[in-house]
Structure 1
Amino acid sequence: MTDRREAESSGGGAVSRRALLLGASVLGLAPWGSQLQAQPAPKPKGPPSAPKGQAVIGYSQEITVLHPLMPANEVDQGVWWNLFSPLWALDQAGKFVPVLAKDVPTVANGGISADGLVWKVTLREGVKWHDGRDFSAEDVRFTFDLIRNPQFRTRSRAGFSLLEDVKTEGSTISWRMKEPFAPFLSFLAWTFIVPRHLLDGAADPNATPFHANPIGTGPFKFVERRTGSHVLLAANTAYFGEGPYLERLVFRYVPDLNAMYTQFRTGELDYIGLQGIPPNHYAEASTLKNVAVHLCPRASVENLTLNLAHPALKEKAVRQALYLGMDKKAIVEALYYGLPLPASSFMPPQSWAFNDALPRHVHDPAKARAILDAAGWKPGPDGVRVKDGVRLAFTNSTTTGNPTREQAQQLLVQDWAKIGAEMTIKNMPAAVLWAKFWAESQFDSLMTNTTYTVASDPDVMHRFGGKSIPLKAGTGSNVSQYENPKVDGLLAKGIAVTDMAQRAEIYREAQALILDDLPMLPIFQSVQVEGTKVGLIGFANNVNVLSNTWNAGSWYWA
């Protein structure tokens, strides 16, 4: 199948560990945390009275999914925030703010019943779709129904499957939950409403003209998508909210991070985020007069996602040995200049449910070899261990064009060769990797930067729940195919309990179990260096979204 085509790993041979470890000192660089300071931005003059100018946004992964309810990645969501609107959103301080809704429903304001079962939302009036049609409560009800439609390929039905008695009356929509679902407020902050008049009655909800020509209510309208090049949006002058203050947004696809940085340095790009400014270019970027550098903690975790259906990786002892054999410190210090924090969990430390009592990772190759010996994995003639005819060999894949991550892969090849495991690098373009290769668990292992939680809620049922394996259930993001009944029980309890302290304790226990099972090997929590051209006003880092273009409707040039 074309989705499983091998991509040759970058040339140049193995990376010298000593060269990498000495790289920062040779360049005369201090760790990022001690050196990085954002360039001072000019004092804002205030936004223009009408949209003016454009912002060219550099993404190293191609935008592939324009339907905001379907499985996608961070770059796609970066576009969705500008084309579509949710009922409410989370701002950079973690506060819920109304968008299509007039107010965010709470128990205090009567929008949610005390038992968490009955919800009532009053919508803004006067909102229009980009084609001029009126937005209504029926669009919200249709969006909910589409997500619940078993024929529709949605990211997750969590929470929506609990809805019943959904009613609309004028500008109000109400529903009853079959049982309490604590994360639903956060889930709705990531649920973009779609137009009923364009999608209702489609023979195949997964293939409609809307997929290629989306119509939303957001601050920008869709103009065009050119494969391998860009997505172009234009100002929606009938937008109901703040802005937009720019005439156009251009999301440019530049698959190589070094090339993308060069375009940013020379002024061709106005903003680069997500994977951001590569570590080897940070020192130069921090000195450029036309650039503002932003230190952006993210909720995501750099990790090795393992496919537990693999004949070797399915064994817990193997996963434990790989984790002990991984030199996280070398990766963090040599390749990322010491900025990221080594991670022991999928949960970011900023979360109120983070378990700070988890055992810290120790790099111990000797113990790793002992574990494999005890489990019956014996070294073969080529040094690779074998058990019952199965070699301890697997591939690792990530998106092409990321030299820092490719160097991290090479370090892991060396780390794991020392304990008798063979890892082969098999990288591929993002559009290929994030298609069936990911969704149908066709990989052995992936090196990715993953946000496991949804908005600000610690629920991870879609990532680790036994019923969230897309290959089996047709929905969810548990591509590791991880199953642990005890974890399933904790995650089910975590969404039913409303008390925050109780929920925190539940998720702390789940983190401990998942760390013990190791369906993913956490490496570090991301602290991303992003850049904007000096004079671009309005950029704001928000750990509660997947892309910092979330508020581009309020950006403008000084």
Structure 2
Amino acid sequence: MKKLTTKAIPAAIAATLLMSAFSAAGAGAAGQVRKGFDPSRVGGKVILTSFADAVSLTPLTTSDSASNDIQGMIFESLTDLDINGQPIPGLAEKWTYDAATLTYTFFLRKGVTFHDGKPFTSADVKFTYDMYMHKDSVNSYKSSFESISSITVVNSHTIKFKLNKKDAFFLVQGANDGGILPKHQFPKGIEDYNNNNKIHRSPIGTGPFKFKQWKADERIVVVANKSYWAGRPYLDEVITRILPDSNVETINLLKGSVDVVEALNPNQVSQVAKDGDLKTMVYDQGGFHYVGFNNLNPIFADAKVRQALAYGLDRQSIVSKILLGKAYQASGPLHPKIPQNNPSVKPYEFDVERAKKLLDEAGWKVGSDGIREKNGKKFEIEVAYNAGNVIREKVSQLAQQNWKKLGVKVTPRKYEWSIYLDRLYKGQHDAYILGWVGYDGNVEHTGFFHSKEARDSEGKGGNNTSRVNDPYVDKILESYTVETNAQKRFKLYQDLHKHLADKQNVIYTYHPKLTAGLDENLANVKPSLSDFFWNLEDWYWKKGVGGR
């Protein structure tokens, strides 16, 4: 699942994807001990960190990483993804695909129960998709399910999905985005799904961890699901502490008050690495960070203005000075280690004179006070970022310094995360700094760039918060999802990469190359390109340590 990240945070991607008659065998009956399970590893707790609290723990009611990371511990989907992003059995132990009728049949695991002991059945699957696809649903990932024409319950553990078109990504999106909800927890249906805060704060899933506690702005606690169908996780408990910023996260790691910091600030890495009780781990994160605009704002509706700001922002300094080289400079939204990336597209150079010329051509003339103006309106904007994110704060300050040379007055401003998101969704930010992470070689950007996914002034809609409205982009996105030839599909996104780089609807700054800080004795942490917590159920403390 792609997500907006609060963090300033080996892609062996298969060249073909799934559209032929893909079928997978399951991992076994519910309640079994998973392959390689070592009972001597059981025990202890891990303390994680976040500098933003969750918004909701009900799947697809949010798009932020603080919420989605916890949801991923509690809920499961029909399919799961292996470390390379390829589909493997999840709550469905196997499936078949009939290409003639565009129908997937999923055979669900028997004996699986929700965390409250109620049985998991196909009725829960049908209910879940009814919530996700409901016309009034707050789900901002609806594009993942738009290829579904109908869903038919065959029996208690068999369910059919008939598609209305070919969908090369159904097994890794439609069948994987969003966990299966317990129908019995939502007696009022869509009203509960959208608005019941009690449910949003007391989730019930089938996953390896069960919800225990949420103390607002302090911590969220999950505990091992000892009845988990694939065998209980090694850890007894996972605590996510809410800390004010990345500096405080690192201080707590050095003190031993937390065990894992997912993304250290680059200037803190050496300090952590020198500590004999800690270790560091460098990993790539599938995603891109950017400076976004509301493209409906008359200022930013002009491509020359966006291009000028891109030329006028020293993005190489973001990578070399702010991130100390711990990132790839971005030219577009495709990570350099996936085949959809277009290597011929280069990042805009830092060119102040070219930026000034573009602003002149766009009609923005320098006034007597040094600030540009057009039709009596001065070029004064706010650049927003979320509180606690030191990297984004520094990027906003760099934009302020760089764009002042162009005659643009910038005021950096931080917002608490939930307020930041609310303003973002309603299009109230002039410009903002964000990241879009959680993808791998199965990347599919409809939700972020397609015009139908744009939010309205009330904040309703998909994840196209920059309000991109480009028929050429829409056409490529639509062609990409139905193209079953992998090489042709890659070419489509390489063309999209070039077009988006030319238009600069957002300014692409960097792709993360992150360094995590961990307790030396915490073992088997294996991030995937799309998910740092990919194998959380298999994390364990080395023998003789046992956690806290």
Query: What TM-score bracket applies, with the shorter chain setting the length?
Result: 0.7 to 0.9
Give me the whole-angstrom Cα distance separating, in 2, the residues matched to 1:371 and 1:169: 61
Match in the other structure for 2:397: 410
8 Å contact 1:84–1:217 — kept in the other structure? yes
1:465 and 2:433 equivalent? no
| Other-structure match for 1:136 | 121
1:200 Cα shift?
4.3
User: Match for residue 460 of structure 2?
Assistant: 474
The yes-or-no answer on 1:72 pairing with 2:63 is yes
| Residue 206 of structure 1 pairs with residue 172 of structure 2 | no
Question: For structure 1, which segment, 229-238 or 473-482, has the greater mean C-alpha deviation from structure 2 after superposition?
Answer: 473-482
Counterpart Cα distance in 2 of 1:95 and 1:541: 15
Q: 1:242 Cα shift?
A: 3.6
Deviation at 1:408, TM superposition (A): 2.2
Match of 1:38 in 2: none
Secondary structure in structure 1 of the residue aligned to 2:285:
strand
Q: Which residue does the alignment assign to 1:227? A: 216
Structure 2 residue aligned with 1:83: 74
Deviations 1:81-130 (A, max 9, x none): 21111112222223322121113x4xxxxx12235811111111111000
Question: 1: CA distance between counterparts of 2:487 and 2:381?
Answer: 41
Which segments of 5 or more consecutive residues in structure 2 lack a partner in the other structure?
1-35, 543-548
**CA distance, structure 1, for counterparts of residue 273 and residue 144 of structure 2:** 44
- Note closer, same or farther for the CA distance 1:260–1:84 as it changes in structure 2 (3 Å cut): same
User: Aligned partners of 1:332 and 1:499: how far apart in 2?
Assistant: 35
- Shift, 1:179, TM fit: 1.1
Within 5 Å, give how 1:24-423 maps onto structure 2.
47-48=38-39, 51-103=42-94, 105=95, 111-114=96-99, 117-170=102-155, 171-187=157-173, 188-202=175-189, 203-208=191-196, 209-273=198-262, 276-423=263-410
Question: Which residue is equivalent to 1:550?
Answer: 534
Amino acid at match of 1:124: R
Change (3 A) 1:391 1:226: same
SS of residue paired to 1:396? strand
- Secondary structure in structure 2 of the residue aligned to 1:295: strand
Instruction: Give the secondary-structure state (helix, strand or coil) at the position aligned to 2:509.
Output: strand
Mapping of 1:421-500 within 5 angstroms?
421-434=408-421, 436-451=422-437, 454=439, 456-471=441-456, 474-500=460-486
Instruction: Name the amino acid aligned to 2:442.
Output: D
> What amino acid sits opposite 1:482 in the alignment?
V
Q: Normalising to structure 1: TM-score of the pair?
A: 0.86
- The secondary structure found in structure 2 opposite 1:467 is helix
Shift in alpha-carbon separation, 1:550–1:541, aligned structure 2, 3 A: closer
SS at match of 1:371: helix
Question: Equivalents in 1 of 2:461, 2:61: separation in Å?
Answer: 10
Distance in structure 2 (CA, Å) of the matches to 1:555 and 1:243: 12
Query: What percentage of aligned pairs have identical amino acids?
Result: 25
The range that moved more, 350-359 or 327-336, is 350-359
Question: Quick one: distance in 2 between partners of 1:323 and 1:445?
Answer: 13
Deviations 1:521-550 (A, max 9, x none): 0111101111211111221111123xx223
**Which blocks of at least 5 consecutive residues in structure 1 are unaligned?**
1-44, 106-110
Secondary structure at 1:341's aligned position in 2?
strand
* SS, match of residue 179 in structure 2: coil
C-alpha change, 1:120 and 1:377, in structure 2 (3 Å) is same
In structure 1, the residue corresponding to 2:77 is in which secondary structure?
coil
Secondary structure at the counterpart of residue 189 of structure 1: coil
The residue identity in structure 2 corresponding to 1:397 is A
Q: Number of matched residues?
A: 502
CA spacing shift, 1:517–1:249, aligned 2, 3 Å: same
**Alpha-carbon distance in structure 2 between the residues aligned to 1:264 and 1:63:** 21
1:246-267 Cα offsets, whole Å, 9 max, x none, are 1111111002111110001111
* Equivalent residues of 1:48, 1:556 under 8 A apart: no
What amino acid is aligned across from residue 486 of structure 2 in structure 1?
Answer: M
The structural deviation recorded for 1:51 is: 4.4
1:4 aligns with none
Deviation digits for residues 445-476 of structure 1 (CA, Å, limit 9, x no counterpart): 1111222x755423211111111012169321
- 1:381 match: secondary structure: coil
In structure 2, the CA distance between the partners of 1:536 and 1:146, relative to structure 1 (3 Å rule), is same
CA distance in 2, matches of 1:339, 1:530: 12
Give the letter for the 1:440 counterpart: K
Q: Is residue 321–residue 371 contact of structure 1 (8 Å, CA) maintained in 2?
A: yes
Q: CA deviation at 1:50?
A: 8.1
Where 1:97 maps in the other structure, the secondary structure is strand
Give the 3 Å change call, closer, same or farther, for CA 160–292 of structure 1 in structure 2.
Answer: same
Post-superposition Cα deviations, 1:301-349, rounded to whole Å, max 9, x if no partner, equal 1210111122322211111111111111112111111121110011111
Q: Aligned equivalents of 1:540 and 1:200: distance in 2? A: 39
Q: What is the RMSD of the two structures over their aligned residues, measured on CA atoms?
A: 1.9
Q: 1:360, 1:165 → 2: CA distance? A: 43
Instruction: Measure, in 2, the Cα distance between the counterparts of 1:292 and 1:89.
Output: 29
Q: Which moved more, 1:203-212 or 1:178-187?
A: 203-212
Asked whether the 8 Å contact 2:151–2:159 carries over to 1, the reply is yes
Pick closer, same or farther for the CA change 1:46–1:130 going to 2, 3 Å.
Answer: closer
Alpha-carbon distance change, 204 to 376 in structure 1, aligned in 2, over 3 angstroms: same
Cα gap change, 1:163/1:404 in structure 2, threshold over 3 Å: closer, same or farther? Answer: closer
Quote the Cα distance in structure 2 between the aligned partners of 1:430 and 1:56. 21
TM-score with structure 2 setting the length:
0.88
DSSP 3-state at the match of 1:158: helix
Could you give the per-residue CA deviations for residues 486-528 of structure 1, whole angstroms, max 9, x where no partner exists?
1111111111222111211111112222111111101111011
